[in-house]
Amino acid sequence: MPLCRGLRIEDAPIDELQDHLLTGRLTSVELLSCYMQRYYQTNQYINSVLEVNPDAYDIATSLDCERKAGKVRSKLHGLPFLVKDNIASADKLQTTAGSWALLGSVVPRDASVVSKLREAGAILLGKATLSEWADMRSNNYSEGYSARGGQARSPYNFTVNPGGSSTGSAIAVSNNVVPFALGTETDGSVINPSMRNAIVGIKPTVGLTSRAGVVPESEHQDTVGVFGKTVADAVHVLDAIYGIDGRDNYTAAQAGKTPNGGYAQYLSKAKVLDGARFGIPWKSFWQYADQEQLDTLLTMLDVLRTAGATIINGTELQHPEIVSPNGWNWDYGTVRGYPNESEYSYITVDFYNNIATYLSELSNTNIRSLEDLVQYNIDNFGSEGGTPGIHPAFGSGQDGFLASLATKGAQNETYYQALAFCQRTSRDEGIDYALHNRGNKLDVLLLPPDVAQAVQIAAQAGYPIITIPASVHSDSDMPYGLAVLGTAFSEASLVKYASAMEDLFVSSGSKFQRSKTPPGWSNYLDRNLPVPF
């Protein structure tokens, strides 16, 4: 990345960028120009940005005037950011979930999280590319592809799954197109691309960040998460966007469970690891990691032990049999013969109902229901892949949409049984059971997030998880991470230990840090589609 008016801002943390702005070494307009230069330098390669905000420079100018007048709104004042293209902004940008179907539609207002970031003085640079409809429309697809945005690619390896569905958000942060970004997760869509692009991702408890104005999948599992290069960066953003919102009833659950003064106060140094108790659910998750990752992650655990942490193996879910041995599968209940124990059984129902509610608030569009979306994809199968075998990025067409359509949104006995089963076995009899550890309580669980089943259980529970960079795999040239997982609204604890681990790995000079895992731009001339898993 070129210098920015003589200053190195590549991989610069938010605190350093803010210092440049506070001391006058840079203005917000100058900083925005440098990030825009990076966008133009890289986007034909990585395709992380779907659309650029034409008002970004005007916003930056206004924020510079505020700073000159002595007003600095927050740590994010004057810094540019991206949001995934399923997060609404009431400006000149589109909000389409990557589909041509919503092109030209007008949202009624900013998504709550966008409004909060504007209030914090951040500059919305644009919309990030994503997996179309956040991976809901198809079960055989190219991660990070959408009809509007094309294929996003990781700078680590252009021919390998870049992570999804918040693909562009993670890639842009990893590649210094913006210092931070927002994404959404229903099942793995924040943690997966974070880990696969060697950055920090925070997937909060469902109900900590508002989903108002976000194209939905499931009210029970959707959450807005954050991407940053460091734990501190991600936490500064989380502090700006969390809170109770009258437009999202789920956020009422956080009352009395969030800290006064936000989460940045829990950022810690390595010394807090002394006496910490971390659990390893080996049979539930770790056994499914490949040997190279296991070797690296186990060495990381040894480093944690040298800092005084106690690592306790065998802290399993009460029902490890609910975890697929063959990778991520959100219909694993049906695979086992029990659709009333399948996450997919309620996700498909939720989507049918939740998308209708979202579409009802849009203007300047005739798309009002899932039926309309399905028909649009059929009518435009060349670009939208509405039928199997037509479009390479959607090998199964729109089978996800069709599965949801078949439910007609009926919250029947199977729906409620599946919801109750997945929440009980992932919460009380899952993560909480493992954390209780037969009365010998643990601080957090440690997970290999490249084992997607681990992230899936956290998603079903609606519990928070943070991933930090670990290393790069020798076969794929792709990064992987180490994740910390806790119970509902335990973000303060996760921030404490994730930041302490990050500090330990950096201060000790270990190889387990982002600076030791630069992208290799492998196969940068190749443009295969779909990108294989």
pLDDT of residue 258: 98
Cβ-count burial 252-262 (b if 16+ within 10 Å, e if not):
ebbeeebeeeb
Q: pLDDT value at position 530?
A: 86
The neighbour count for residue 306, using CB atoms within 10 Å, is 11
**Average pLDDT in the chain:** 97
Considering the domain architecture, whether residues 258 and 391 belong to the same structural domain is answered as: no
Indicate whether 526 belongs to any domain. no
* 233 and 294 fall within a common domain: yes
- Which residue numbers are catalytic? 84, 165, 189
**Which uninterrupted H or E stretch holds 484?**
strand 479-485
Instruction: Name the residue range of residue 430's domain.
Output: 14-326+425-516
Same domain membership, residue 244 and residue 119: yes
Residue 309 φ/ψ region, left for φ over 0, alpha for ψ in the -120 to 50 degree band, beta for the rest: beta
In a domain, 3, yes or no: no
Mark whether 375 and 236 lie in a shared domain: no
Q: Is residue 295 part of a domain?
A: yes
Phi/psi for 221 (5° steps) reads -130, -15
Strand, helix or coil for residue 129: coil
Q: What are phi and psi of 65, to 5 degrees?
A: -65, -40
Q: Counting Cβ atoms within 10 Å, is residue 381 exposed (0-12), middle (13-18) or buried (19+)? A: middle
Q: Contact 351/97 with Cβ under 8 angstroms?
A: no
Residue 367: inside a domain, yes or no? yes
Q: Tell whether 18 and 88 lie within a shared domain.
A: yes
pLDDT at 145: 97
Distance of CA 377 to the CA centre of its chain: 26
Check pLDDT > 70 for residue 24.
yes
Same domain, 337 and 314: no
Q: How far is CA 262 from CA 19, 208, 266, in A?
A: 21, 12, 9
Query: Is the pLDDT confidence value at 8 over 70?
Result: yes
The per-residue pLDDT for 533 is 63
pLDDT at 532: 74
The model's pTM: 0.98
Of the candidates 304, 339, 298, the one whose C-alpha atom is nearest the C-alpha of residue 444 is 304
pLDDT for the residue 404 = 98
Residue 410 tokens read as 């009926």
- Residue 287 in domain: yes
Same domain, 99 and 236: yes
| Residue 287 half-sphere exposure toward CB, CA atoms < 13 A | 13
Distances (CA, A) of 268 to 107, 293, 387, 405, 492: 40, 26, 51, 47, 11
Number of domains in the chain: 2
Region 406-410 average pLDDT: 98
pLDDT of 526 reads 94
Answer yes or no: is 525 within a domain. Answer: no
Chosen domain end from 419, 441, 466: 419
**Per-residue pLDDT at 501:** 98
- Looking at residue 78, which CATH number applies to its domain? 3.90.1300.10
Cβ contact 342:331 at 8 Å: yes
Mean pLDDT of 83-93: 98
Task: Determine the pLDDT at residue 18.
Answer: 98
**389 and 461 part of one domain:** no
> In this structure, are 123 and 209 located in the same domain?
yes
Mean pLDDT value across residues 380-398: 93
- Residue 230 has what DSSP assignment? S
Q: Which residues pair with 446 in a beta bridge?
A: 484
Residue holding tokens 């999948």? 217
Whether 486 is covered by a domain: the verdict is: yes
Residues 480, 410 within the same domain:
no
- Mean per-residue pLDDT, 278-300: 97
Tell me, yes or no, whether 9 lies in a domain. Answer: no
71 plus 101 within the same structural domain: yes
* Tens digits of residue pLDDT in 322-340: 999 999 999 999 999 999 9
Span 102-120, mean pLDDT? 98
Q: Quick check: 352 pLDDT over 80?
A: yes
CA distances from 74 to 236, 238, 239 (A): 9, 12, 10
CA dihedral 206, 210, 212, 218 (to 10 degrees): -10
* Mean pLDDT on 438-453: 97
Look-up of token digits 């909000």: 95
> Are 319 and 342 contained in the same domain?
no
> How many C-beta neighbours within 10 Å does residue 212 have?
21
* pLDDT, position 222: 98
